[in-house]
Amino acid sequence: MWQKIEAAPADSILGLTDAFRNDPNPQKVNLGVGVYKDEKGTTPILECVKAAEKILLSEEVTKSYLPISGDPLYGREVQKLLFGADSEVIKTGRAVTAHAPGGTGALRVGGELLKKFKPTAKVWISNPTWANHKGIFTTAGFELATYDYYNPTTKSVDFEALIASLETVPSGDIVLLHACCHNPSGVDLNCEQWKIVAALGKEKGWIAFLDFAYQGFGDGVNEDRCAVEEFAATGVDFFVASSFSKNFGLYNERCGALTVVSPSAKEAVVAMSHLKATIRVIYSNPPAHGGLVVALILSDEELHKQWLAELTTMRERIKAMREALVAGLVKRGVKEDFSYITSQRGMFSFSGLSDSIVKWLRDNKAIYVVGGGRINLAGLTSSNIDYVCDAIAEVLNA
Which C-beta is closer to ligand LMR: that of 132 or that of 313?
132
Reference 100, options 196, 5, 241; nearest CA is: 241
212 makes contact with ligand LMR (CB under 6 A) = no
Minimal distance, residue 318 CB to ligand LMR, in Å: 14
3's CB contacts (< 8 A; 6+ apart) are: none
Which C-beta is closer to ligand LMR: that of 247 or that of 306?
247
Instruction: Report the DSSP beta bridge partners of residue 143.
Output: 122
State the DSSP string of 294-342. Answer: HHHHHHSHHHHHHHHHHHHHHHHHHHHHHHHHHHHHHHTT--S--GGGG
- Positions annotated as catalytic residues are 130, 211, 246
Which C-beta is closer to ligand LMR: that of 33 or that of 392?
33
Q: Which of 36, 83, 130, 368 binds ligand LMR (CB under 6 A)?
A: 130
Which C-beta is closer to ligand LMR: that of 165 or that of 183?
183
Nearest position to ligand LMR, beta carbon:
34
For 26, counting Cβ atoms within 10 Å of its Cβ (0-12 exposed, 13-18 middle, 19+ buried), the class is: exposed
Q: Are 222 and 84 in contact (CB under 8 A)?
A: yes
Please enumerate, as own/partner, the contacts of 299-306 that have beta carbons within 8 Å and a separation of 24 or more.
Answer: 299/73, 299/77, 300/52, 303/48, 303/51, 303/52, 306/47, 306/48, 306/51
Minimal distance, residue 297 CB to ligand LMR, in Å: 21
Minimal distance, residue 109 CB to ligand LMR, in Å: 16
13 makes contact with ligand LMR (CB under 6 A) = yes
Which C-beta is closer to ligand LMR: that of 130 or that of 149?
130
271's CB contacts (< 8 A; 6+ apart) are: 96, 260, 262
183 makes contact with ligand LMR (CB under 6 A) = yes
Q: Are 259 and 225 in contact (CB under 8 A)?
A: no
Residues 131-160 that bind ligand LMR (CB under 6 A): 132
Which C-beta is closer to ligand LMR: that of 260 or that of 369?
369
Minimal distance, residue 104 CB to ligand LMR, in Å: 6
17 makes contact with ligand LMR (CB under 6 A) = no
For 320, counting Cβ atoms within 10 Å of its Cβ (0-12 exposed, 13-18 middle, 19+ buried), the class is: middle
Torsion sign over Cα 163, 164, 169, 171? positive
* Helix%, strand%, coil% for the chain, nearest 5: 50, 15, 40
Minimal distance, residue 178 CB to ligand LMR, in Å: 11
Which C-beta is closer to ligand LMR: that of 34 or that of 110?
34
Judged by CB under 6 A, how many residues of this single chain contact ligand LMR?
Answer: 6
Minimal distance, residue 127 CB to ligand LMR, in Å: 16
Residues 31-90 that bind ligand LMR (CB under 6 A): 33-34
286 makes contact with ligand LMR (CB under 6 A) = no
Minimal distance, residue 138 CB to ligand LMR, in Å: 16
DSSP letter at 169 equals P
E strands, the chain, in order: 29-30, 95-100, 122-127, 143-148, 150-151, 156-157, 174-178, 207-212, 238-243, 256-261, 348-350, 367-368, 374-376
For 25, counting Cβ atoms within 10 Å of its Cβ (0-12 exposed, 13-18 middle, 19+ buried), the class is: exposed
Minimal distance, residue 13 CB to ligand LMR, in Å: 4
Which C-beta is closer to ligand LMR: that of 201 or that of 286?
286
Other residues' Cβ atoms within 10 Å of the Cβ of residue 270 = 13
Contact positions toward ligand LMR, by CB under 6 A?
13, 33-34, 130, 132, 183
